[in-house]
Amino acid sequence: MKNNANNLARIGIKLLMEGVFSDEISIREFNEVARKAISDAQREKAKKPRSPYYSEVIEVIKLTWEKYPCGAKTALLDALAAHYHGKVSRNALDNWISLSGLRPPKPEKYTRLELVFPQ
In a structure prediction context, what are the per-residue pLDDT tens digits for the chain, which is 119 residues long? 566 767 677 777 777 767 766 776 677 777 787 788 888 888 888 877 778 899 899 999 999 999 999 999 999 999 999 999 999 999 999 998 888 888 888 889 998 999 999 88
7 shares a domain with 55: no
Supply the range of the domain harboring residue 111: 51-119
CA distance 32 to 22: 15
The half-sphere exposure of 4 on its side-chain side, counting CA atoms within 13 A, is 1
Cβ pair 113, 74 in contact under 8 A: no
| Same domain as 94, residue 64 | yes
3-state secondary structure (DSSP) of residue 34:
helix
On whether both 66 and 119 belong to a single domain, the answer is yes
Q: What angle do CA 64, 65, 67 make, to 5 degrees?
A: 70
Identify whether residues 40 and 20 lie together within a single domain: yes
User: Does 112 lie in the same domain as 59?
Assistant: yes
Note whether 116 and 64 are within 8 A (CB).
yes
